[in-house]
Structure 1
Amino acid sequence: MKKIWFISNASSGSASPDKVAALVELFAGKGWHLIGHSHFPHDMLPDAATLDAAGVDTVILYAGDGTINAAIGALRGWNGAFLMLPGGTMNLLVKALHGDGDPAAIVAASMTQSILVALPFVAGGEYRAYVALIVGPATSWFRAREQVRAGRIGGLGRAIGHAWARTFGRGIRLGGAYGLPAGAQAVLISPKGAQLRLAAVDARDWRSIAVLGWDWLTGDWLAAAAVTESVAPTVSIEGDRPVQALFDGEPQLLSPGVQISAGQTRAQFICTKMPA
């Protein structure tokens, strides 16, 4: 019998309280012992000591990429397994591990055809991104995106105005990012083995900025403008002030000089997507 700790975020993209309750019933039907349930962000995330004391062997995450990132970060150093279920808007990390299956199908597959795999990540300072890190002034659009997701239309205009002004400001400069345009509005950094894959968006005119902003709101920012790609072992933040960064969609500040590099976790993530 699995001893599980369930972490859910009912306000994430495709999750809801009813779906969370249905999953709890599903776990019971599989004979899994639910040791604890954290309703994030209302509840604090558990730490490794709490899980070890309770004998938990598997953490199940039903949330979006940002909440999943926060939970993995809170449990860095824990030796148990993670099972991720699609509860967000894009679910990029879940799709990499399980394909397009729904939560019930993934739970069933985890019992019959699964392996434990390591996850590559991008590290910047104390933070990690398992899907992608985005740096540059265009990250200001995340506030407008969150207003849309939360249904707070009243604050959307102010958030868009702030993002518009920031996007026309100074671009991002990265040391070691050869071949990218100087002063790009945003650079998406994702892991590629031991290297970093870099994709820079360079929007210089009103129309390009407007399209960039719209695609931020709808989720496909790389479609917004001309994208220049490159690969590097490491890059660093240049300039004399902190820059806004999004780690799997969650905002942080990175100080000048911070090194950004690739890494890999231990093999502790349940994967049901078998290689062809």
Structure 2
Amino acid sequence: MDLNPLWLVTNAASGSNSDTAVEDLVASLSAAGCAPVRTLRFPDDPLPDAALLERKGVGTLAIFTGDGTANSAACAAEGWHGALLVLPGGTKNLLAKALHGDVPAETITGRIASGAIARTRRPAVRTSQGMALVEALAGPGAMWADVREGVRDLDLGAIAETFSNALRETREGPGIGIVEPALGKPGGYRAVRAAPGPRGLSVEGYDFEDLGQMAAQGFAMLVKRDFRQGPHDELGTHRHIDCESDAPIALMIDGERRQGARQERFEQVLFPVEFLASTATGD
């Protein structure tokens, strides 16, 4: 498969984006026959939109960043006819793992060289605040995403302040209920997670029994992004869910904080740009 011309997006603030890592990636892409003809260093360089990519005849946009920037780059390219190559350049790299398995970027470029990669379409979660390619989380528990920023920057003052705010909002803020279809606890949850899947949105509700559990689960969910830690209700698979709260609903979209309204719909759709996915995960 010819991926040329290929542009590369990096982000120095992402977990794996050292200068050396970027140089190694460029070398491995070059060895695979698709050397980047342009490297964009976000946020110093703006993310390319579909019109620019089409005008420049770009065939592949490689994204070596974390999930948040990968989401922004993919959404900026909506309507483009090329393909997105998502590489693990952040901390969790959930989108890259979904497309290629838990492997380093150099393994993926090796698959490009051997032809073990193909274009594919992926489902996404449409929200009022944009698309989620991996997961959307709603409710006061989403405030824990603010803590991640302090952890990312190693800012102890920001960590302390946002941790206190997140704990207070999770404990005292209005819960979020799923009203259409009617799902879960009548009193709602501290957080509702919706993730796209082959048969629809996988929906889970999270609650906490005491203050200690709330802090531990909140930190695990939003900072470590390990949603399976702690108690939760499996609420089935659905094409869409409508949620309500007595206050504007905090959102976390692919790890990044957003602010929603008191009523929010989460709907599974087909993302309008193709991705490159590994066709074999054993190396």
Q: How does 1:63-212 map to 2 (within 5 A)?
A: 63-111=65-113, 112-125=115-128, 127-169=130-172, 170-181=174-185, 182-212=187-217
Deviations 1:231-275 (A, max 9, x none): 333212323542111111111122233322101125721111438
SS at match of 2:196: strand
Judge conservation of contact 2:27–2:35 (CA < 8 Å) in 1. Answer: no
SS at match of 2:142: helix
1:18 Cα deviation from its structure 2 partner: 1.6
Aligned counterpart, 2:231: 225
CA distance 1:152–1:270, change in 2 (3 Å): same
Q: Comparing 70-79 with 10-19, which one deviates more in the overlay?
A: 10-19
Whole-angstrom CA distance in 2 between matches of 1:76 and 1:148: 31
1:20 Cα deviation from its structure 2 partner: 1.1
1:162 Cα deviation from its structure 2 partner: 0.3
Q: Which amino acid aligns with 1:5?
A: W
1:119 Cα deviation from its structure 2 partner: 0.7
Q: Comparing 31-40 with 155-164, which one deviates more in the overlay?
A: 31-40
Judge conservation of contact 2:78–2:273 (CA < 8 Å) in 1. Answer: no
Whole-angstrom CA distance in 2 between matches of 1:133 and 1:185: 14
1:194 Cα deviation from its structure 2 partner: 4.8
Gaps of 5+ in 1: none
Structure 1 length-normalised TM: 0.92
Whole-angstrom CA distance in 2 between matches of 1:231 and 1:178: 13
Whole-angstrom CA distance in 2 between matches of 1:258 and 1:207: 29
Whole-angstrom CA distance in 2 between matches of 1:231 and 1:22: 41
CA distance 1:64–1:50, change in 2 (3 Å): same
Tell me the C-alpha RMSD between the 2 structures: 2.0
Whole-angstrom CA distance in 1 between matches of 2:97 and 2:148: 22
Judge conservation of contact 1:201–1:228 (CA < 8 Å) in 2. Answer: no
Gaps of 5+ in 2: none
Q: Sequence identity, in percent?
A: 30
